[in-house]
Amino acid sequence: MANLPIRLQPGAAADRIDGWATDAEGRPVLKVRVRARPIEGEANDALIRMLAKSLCVPKSSISAGRGAQSRLKMIVVQGLDDEELRSRLVDGLSGD
């Protein structure tokens, strides 16, 4: 199981992963934008679909561990460890 800190921006012009940034406490977070609005979980659903596609894992293996109704979230990915998760993200961000 891997944990992925996310800074989600709903209502964006396009769905995309912007890369790594730091939060107010200096912790690394992955910045993600989705077109969906934060209404009835639509933005979270869009985030899960995008991450599943980027990480090549089933949607059912991704869930919101913390912060489901906040822009700062901790996403849990079953079936990957932290190292494999970060490796897949780096590959995806570099376009490989």
CATH of the domain at 26: 3.30.1200.10
Give the structural domain span for 66: 2-94
Q: Whats the size of the chain, residue-wise?
A: 96
**Residue 20 contacts residue 29 (beta carbons within 8 Å):** yes
Sign of the alpha-carbon torsion through 75, 9, 91, 55: positive
> One digit per residue, pLDDT tens: the chain, 96 residues?
999 999 999 999 999 999 999 988 999 999 999 999 999 999 999 999 999 999 999 999 999 888 888 899 999 999 999 999 988 888 777 654
Domains of the chain: total: 1
